[in-house]
Amino acid sequence: MFKRILIANRGEIACRIIKTARRLGIETVAVYSEADRDALHVEMADHAVLIGPPAAAESYLVIDKIVDAARKSGAEAVHPGYGFLSEREAFPKALEKAGIVFIGPNPAAIAAMGDKIESKKAAARAKVSTVPGHLGEIADATHAIKIAGEIGYPVMIKASAGGGGKGMRIAYSESEVAEGFARSKSEAKSSFGDDRMFIEKFIVNPRHIEIQVLGDKHGNVIYLGERECSIQRRNQKVVEEAPSPLLDEATRRAMGEQAVALAKAVGYDSAGTVEFVAGQDRSFFFLEMNTRLQVEHPVTELITGIDLVEQMIRVASGEKLSLKQADVKLNGWAVESRLYAEDPYRNFLPSVGRLSRYRPPDETVLDGITVRNDTGVFEGGEISIYYDPMIAKLVTHGPTRAQAISAQSNALDAFVVDGIRHNIPFLAALMAHPRWRAGELSTGFIAEEFPEGFHGVAAEGAAAERLAAVAAAIDHVLGERKRSISGQKPGRAVTRERRRVVKLGDAELTLDIAREADGIAVQFVDAKGNSGASRVLLSSWKPGDPVWSGLIDGAPAAVQVRTILNGFLLAHHGVEAKTYVYTEREAEAARLMPVKVAAGAGKQVLCPMPGLVVSLAVAEGQEVKAGETLAVVEAMKMENVLRAERDGTIKAIRVKPGDSLAVDAVIMEFA
């Protein structure tokens, strides 16, 4: 077994690998760019080596710098994590030349399966069912349009070296092929240093299901069940689960055996993932193979009890797999949510800045429910513009799918992140979505269920009552606290009205509230004064706590609490609402207050997120039509196209390609 390994990565995956290495008694070496000098993975590792400037192309993607760091630090082996150099054939070759072991598959397997074009050719030779498409390289947009016409729309444009949703576009027309090809090619070049593209038929209403394989250097290969990764946005996975609610045992075995056969055909000898696109009828087609550890590997670890990082390390050191296929048993259900630094209310635009508060739920194993949080950040740390916007991966495991989802929902509600925008409200709403809970999934789920984007969940029905009850309970605790301040003048005892009016967004709910032993009882009242539903709340919440955590009618619940002027901003199960608690007299006065309306941007085009200007598609004095491309801004490795919202004439352009912009910086003005 190795005594010291280097981790050629950053963020949560570097921290994840360090945890397993530490458990195995292996010393770790972190590498870091200047932007990551104070990063969590640097602090966790036993040793750390600076490898260059913030840009990945000048640090984490430079093979010579990684090899040099491994040599100088005395590392016997290197784990690449995912992304960066993990699927670059030249990397293990360079390590081998330096006498250092690569904790991953052999270079030949990476060449055969890591390249999406070559992997499809290999799959076709192995008689694996593949999606119709063009397996050769595509010269330019004109060539792409011709091929798309031959295959038939819709088509998927993909980078051969792509991954993580980068360099991918779905196109339904010639114009979309032309623009999608250019954007995908540019993204692939900047993210992977390889801009080769291919095109394949896009299967309508598909599901994305992948098989985890594990091989050793002695010819043994097994599969560890499947993961469903159909909940995607911009072709990037958002929520994953294992097993899949679609598959039966026969289909699982067929997919697994096909994945193993393919892996054996190329001499695969590490952890890898064979991805399939599946129809709702359980038909499936080979998509690609990822010759590395997947982001979503924790869900497989939780249902199998197998530490994939440990297995990769043992295999790389020459050990045989200690498991046979018959030893692999799937236990329960696991769900993983990817927490991203992005604003779901502004079309998921990236958000950067300092984490003024970062307090994940406790990692526990209790009553058959596991809560796990894989992260690479900490309170006070920064989310950088240079890298992927992932904050953490929240994973829950339970005996059934419903229990795993319920645990995930509660954990998301308890997850505190302040200082930046994040996608927890969207994830929380998704967990409560009836179609998700029913397992009726497809890769178009988000586009179909949120066609106009995400605008929160309306506070109505039982959800509104829960939030109103919590708001009233918080207000009651604050009132009790004020009345218990010492040093007050003696006099008549203060009595407080039981009746309260809770303004929740645009709605008002009337209720009576009173202390009952350790709990607080809430009774809702209708417009005629008749009693309605009642709630009993029990919590140890105190002023300043960012989460109200407790029981509502005996069921556990967590509600995010932020103080705003004269009220609270509450969030629960995807419902986020400004909430005010009034006496009836105060409510009458509040209804008379004028509503302040925020001013718009007028005739200016503002940068929606911090980013880099890639290109400008217009010039001063040019007339444009609604929907036309104005500019392309890159942030966190994704290129974002800014389009005209209406017809007009460009009066002035305030930026140039290469400029680094802050959020809301003026890009151009209309006449």
Beta strands in 367-445 (DSSP E): 369-375, 382-383, 390-398, 416-418
The end-to-end CA distance of the chain, in Å, is 69
Helix 116-125 crosses helix 249-265 at what angle (to 10 degrees)? Answer: 110
Catalytic residue among 27, 76, 200, 288: 288
Q: Are 628 and 649 in contact (CB under 8 A)?
A: no
CA angle 137, 142, 147 (to 5 degrees): 55
Furthest-apart CA atoms within the chain: distance in Å:
91
Q: Are 460 and 428 in contact (CB under 8 A)?
A: no
Alpha carbon distances (Å) from 511 to 81, 114, 467:
54, 61, 12
Q: How many Cβ atoms sit within 10 Å of the Cβ of residue 220?
A: 17
Helix 141-151 crosses helix 174-192 at what angle (to 10 degrees)? Answer: 120
Strand, helix or coil for residue 547: strand
- Asked if the peptide bond before residue 243 counts as cis, ω within 30 degrees of 0, the response is yes
Q: Are 149 and 134 in contact (CB under 8 A)?
A: no
Tell me the H-state helices in 266-387. 297-304, 308-316
Q: How many Cβ atoms sit within 10 Å of the Cβ of residue 501?
A: 22
CA 599 to chain centre: 32
CA 110 to chain centre: 26
Tell me the H-state helices in 62-106. 63-73, 90-97
Structural tokens at position 655: 């930026």
Strand, helix or coil for residue 350: strand
- Asked if the peptide bond before residue 154 counts as cis, ω within 30 degrees of 0, the response is yes
Q: Are 103 and 78 in contact (CB under 8 A)?
A: yes
What letter would DSSP give residue 223?
E
The torsion angles phi and psi of 46, rounded to 5 degrees, stand at -75, -30
Place of tokens 């031959």: 150
Is position 588 annotated as part of the catalytic site? no
CA angle 239, 245, 250 (to 5 degrees): 130
Task: Return the H-helix or E-strand segment holding 520.
Answer: strand 519-525
Residue 523 CA to residue 169 CA, distance in Å, equals 52
Residue 83 CA to residue 61 CA, distance in Å, equals 10
Structural tokens at position 505: 């967004």
Residue 586 CA to residue 265 CA, distance in Å, equals 75
Residue 642 CA to residue 669 CA, distance in Å, equals 13
Q: What's at 482, amino acid-wise?
A: K
Residue 512 CA to residue 522 CA, distance in Å, equals 6
Query: Annotated catalytic sites, by residue?
Result: 288
